[in-house]
């Protein structure tokens, strides 16, 4: 038996705190400049220029891309930061979150 101590699995899980995680996603559109998306990824998601460019191009080509995975409140804050920055510049960029 892989668990010789018996039914300890549930107890072990309940002792390990793993808050639910949320993916923060960027959605493609036809108008937001690529440079702005790269800047957003570097500023709010602490990505390198190389990684930010990779994510931006994935969104551009596939329609959606993951910026990062965070606990609820942090994900919510990032979504707000991106939406506010985009609105300030008049870009239609959309940022959403969903359960991992």
Residues with Cβ within 8 Å of residue 76, at least 6 apart in sequence? 97
Q: Give the one residue of 22, 24, 25, 32 binding ligand NFA; rule: CB under 6 A.
A: 32
Q: Give the one residue of 24, 26, 86, 97 binding ligand NFA; rule: CB under 6 A.
A: 26
**33 binding ligand NFA? (CB under 6 A):** yes
Q: Give the helix/strand (H/E) hosting 82.
A: helix 72-89
- Say what angle helices 49-62 and 34-45 make with each other, to 10 degrees: 130
Which positions lie near ligand NFA, rule CB under 6 A?
26, 28-30, 32-34, 37, 56, 59-60, 93
């Amino acid at each position: 038996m892989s668990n010789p101590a018996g039914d300890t699995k549930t107890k072990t899980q309940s002792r390990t705190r793993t808050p639910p995680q949320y993916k923060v996603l960027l959605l493609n559109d036809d108008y937001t400049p690529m440079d702005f998306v790269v800047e957003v990824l570097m500023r709010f998601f602490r990505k390198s220029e190389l990684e930010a460019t990779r994510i931006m191009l994935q969104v551009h080509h596939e329609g959606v891309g993951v910026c990062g995975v965070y606990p609820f409140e942090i994900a919510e804050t990032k979504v707000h930061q991106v939406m506010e920055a985009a609105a300030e510049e008049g870009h239609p960029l959309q940022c959403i979150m969903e359960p991992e």
